[in-house]
Amino acid sequence: MRFKKSIAIISALALSLSVFSGCSGGEDNAPSDDNNADANTAAAEETAAGEKSADDGINAVFGEIRTEFNENLDLSDYPLTPNDVPDGYEAVCEAETAALTGSCAAKDGGDMTSGGGYVDGLNQEGDSITFSVSCEYSGFYDLNFPTMGDPGRVNYVEADGERIGEITTTTKESFGDSMVMNVYLEKGDHEIKLLPYWGYVYVDCLKMTKSTAVTEDTYKVTKALSNPDADENTQRLYKFLCDIYGKYSLSGQYAEKGRESSEIQKLRAETGKDFAVLGLDVGNYSLGSKAHGTESRTVEYAYDWYKNGGGIVQLCWHWTTPEEYAKNDSENPWYSSFYKEGSNLDLDKIMNGEDEKAYQLLMDDIDNMAEQLKRLCDAGVPVLWRPLHEASGGWFWWGNCEAESYKKLWNVMYDKMTNEHGLTNLIWVWNGQSQDWYPGDETVDICGWDIYAGNRVYSAQSGRFADLANNYGEETKLVALTENGCVMDPDKVFEGNSRWLFWGTWSDPFTLKLGVVINEEYTEKTILNKAYNHERVLTLDELPDLQNYPLD
């Protein structure tokens, strides 16, 4: 996770020092940045010189403008894989009788455990607990590993040698549920293995029960957008997302220069396709970044992707700390101040009124970012808006606090951007990565999760999907894989009934190696081609005309 974000820092710094050419729009309502006088002057001089028309400029920079759309997308229901596991089914495998490696050892547990024993020593590489199970039925199981230890400790689960998810320890004084839900297993023998990630937990047993976590109702999202005043283009996009949910997944990729990016060029050359959802970062618009002279054309790239390319835009915000609270020293330079180590912000004090100065600086920065998003709003560009991400991990300053402080900040941002600034183009995507950090159904439209599962891990991560679909709020929400390292195998996604709305692969090193070639360290080309050409994965050419998508 931290390595991935280090790449983001380097990219952001490079972006801030780059000189961009071209302009994103030939239309009167294309976004412009009145504060960027040099860029506007250069663009005006270029046009006056007659070097190229607006449309030629777009084609030269971004490639051909899309003119054909898919008007015959099959939106009939795509049936779920049946579950033959009978109601009330339960099987228990004791950890102390499982195959143990490394420092794992059986201990006497007495009445605290299901079978009188437990396993200690799942601590580091080389340690493992392997349960041999024989399934009587093909179908979906919930796998529960009662554990005890420091709450929040995460450890890996494999089935037949493939990593399928993670479990999280919740209790320290007794054995509590730690589950991976909605795991599909064929009838027959299987090996279920626990491996340490954070380690240092006690494990009681494996309990297998029938999973009812995902049903047809999971994919029936009928709730309107959280903002009742959302504009028509935003409603059209949301309606399309609801219509395809459970029937298709949208391909996605982070690519900091939009259609200029190496990612789109290399992926197109390899797969013959372009991704549908473009991921971009608005961090260089932050006041803390602008204080160091950063520039950004993220708004222009977003405009072009939607208006001229016909695609969907997801924006995240690596929010650099306001200058007065950034450490900005040799170990923590300003451009890494979205990390807690680079920030002096104390969000608990800020949100409970103890630091009014810092509160006002954050409000100023929200106002500042709202101005950039307003440019897209005025141009009619809807945005999948994903701020304050991965909070519960604690590595960003907005997660270095109590959950309540984070939720207050989320809801203040929502209120300011929606009600004060009148942004009608935002579809609010939350992925705070913990149920305790969920800010509430009324300010969330899509629930997301960021998964970096390792190298060449193509499973559907069904436990995370089922958890998001079932345990976050009271309303049924769209569920998306907002960031990923490996591209999932679409067959496993759909056969496993864990149908993520879209995925968004991070850039270097997960897609490209040094921005030059496809990096097969994480996703092999065979899987990449399979995903981009799968009948249940939508690429850019397969999208309908979203600007005219029917609302009825």
Q: Annotate 285-302 with DSSP letters as a single string.
A: GSHHHHTTT----HHHHH
pLDDT tier at 32, thresholds 50, 70, 90: low
Average pLDDT over residues 327-333: 96
For residue 119, count other CB atoms closer than 10 A to its CB.
26
Three-class SS state of 145: coil
Rounded CA-CA distance 179/468 in Å is 13
Q: What CATH number is attached to the domain comprising 281?
A: 3.20.20.80
pLDDT in tens, 500-528: 999 999 998 999 998 899 999 999 999 99
Q: Say which range, 45-54, 108-117, 164-173, 262-271, has the weakest mean pLDDT.
A: 45-54
Query: Do 413 and 475 fall into the same domain?
Result: yes
Q: Residues 226, 196: one domain?
A: no
Q: Is 519 exposed, middle or buried (0-12, 13-18, 19+ CB in 10 A)?
A: middle
Looking up tokens 């509430």 gives: 440
pLDDT tens, position by position, 65-103: 888 898 889 999 999 999 999 999 999 999 999 999 999
pLDDT band at 18 (very low <50, low <70, confident <90, very high): very low
pLDDT of 68 reads 84
Q: How confident is the model at residue 341 (pLDDT cuts 50, 70, 90)?
A: very high
Distance CA 501, CA 468 (A): 12
When pLDDT is cut at 50, 70 and 90, the band that residue 11 belongs to is very low
Does 469 score more than 70 pLDDT?
A: yes
pLDDT given at position 63: 57
On the question of pLDDT at 6 being above 90, the answer is no
Shared-domain flag, residues 189 and 226: no
- Look at the chain and report how many structural domains it folds into: 2
- pLDDT classification of 476: cutoffs 50, 70, 90: very high
pLDDT, position 434? 92
DSSP 313-340: EEEE---PPPGGGB--SSSS-GGGTTBG
Strands 312-316 and 383-386: parallel
Q: Residue 41: what pLDDT?
A: 36
Among the candidates 176, 210, 244, a domain finishes at 210
Give dist(CA 107, CA 113) in Å, integer. 10
Quick check: is 300 in a domain? yes
pTM over 0.85: yes
Distance from C-alpha of 487 to C-alpha of 451, rounded to nearest angstrom: 10
Distance, CA of 127 to CA of 199 (rounded, Å)? 9
Half-sphere exposure of 135 toward its Cβ, with a 13 Å CA cutoff? 26
pLDDT band for 31, please (50, 70, 90 cuts). confident
Domain CATH for 111: 2.60.120.260
The per-residue pLDDT for 33 is: 54
Mean pLDDT value across residues 163-176: 95
pLDDT band at 196 (very low <50, low <70, confident <90, very high): very high
56 pLDDT higher than 90: no
Is residue 203 located within the same domain as residue 236? no
Could you tell me the residue range of the domain that residue 338 belongs to?
217-534
d(CA 278, CA 269): 17
Burial of 16 (0-12, 13-18, 19+ CB in 10 A): middle
Mean pLDDT for all residues in the chain: 90
Amino acid at 275: F
Confidence of residue 255 (pLDDT cuts 50, 70, 90): very high
Q: Mean pLDDT across the stretch 518-539?
A: 98
Region 16-25: what's the mean pLDDT? 30
Q: How confident is the model at residue 22 (pLDDT cuts 50, 70, 90)?
A: very low
Shared domain check, 355 and 233: yes
* Proportion of the chain above pLDDT 70, given as a percent: 89
Angle at 93 between CA 91 and CA 99, to 5 degrees: 150
* pLDDT of amino acid 503: 98
CA-CA distances (angstroms) from residue 96 to 105, 127, 159, 321, 389? 8, 14, 19, 49, 39
- Residue 430's pLDDT is what? 98
Q: Are residues 234 and 135 in the same domain?
A: no
Q: Same structural domain for residues 245 and 273?
A: yes
| pLDDT at residue 28 in the model | 40
Domain co-membership, 127 together with 249: no
pLDDT of residue 391: 96
Q: What phi-psi label fits residue 120: left (phi over 0), alpha (psi between -120 and 50 degrees) or beta?
A: beta
pLDDT in tens, 423-450: 999 999 999 999 999 999 999 999 999 9
Task: Indicate whether 189 and 253 sit together in one domain.
Answer: no
Catalytic residues: 390, 483
Are 161 and 180 within 8 A, CB to CB? no
- Average pLDDT (150-176) is 95
Q: How far apart, in Å, do the first and last CA atoms of the chain sit?
A: 42
Q: Which one of 210, 233, 253 terminates a domain? A: 210
Residue carrying the six token digits 């700390």: 321
- pLDDT score for 55: 35
Last residue of a domain, which of 210, 237, 267?
210
Is position 85 within any domain? no
Confidence of residue 49 (pLDDT cuts 50, 70, 90): very low
Q: Which residues neighbour 78 within 8 Å (Cβ) at sequence distance 6 or greater?
A: 246, 247, 494, 536
Confidence of residue 531 (pLDDT cuts 50, 70, 90): very high
How large is the angle between the packed helices 525-532 and 262-271, nearest 10 degrees? 90
- Say how many residues make up the chain: 552
Does residue 2 fall inside a structural domain? no
Considering the domain boundaries, does residue 380 fall inside one?
yes
Partners of 2 in beta bridges: none
pLDDT tens digits, one per residue of 367-407: 999 999 999 999 999 999 999 999 999 999 999 999 999 99
232 and 189 together in one domain: no
Q: What confidence tens digit (pLDDT) does each residue in 294-305 have?
A: 999 999 999 999
Specify if 81 maps to a domain.
Answer: no
Specify whether 180 is located in the same domain as 247.
no
pLDDT value, residue 113: 96
- Cα separation, 390 vs 271, whole angstroms: 31
Residue 80 belongs to some domain of the structure: no
In a domain, 123, yes or no: yes
SS3 32: coil
Identify whether residues 270 and 130 lie together within a single domain: no
pLDDT at 457 over 50: yes
Question: Has residue 171 been placed in a domain?
Answer: yes
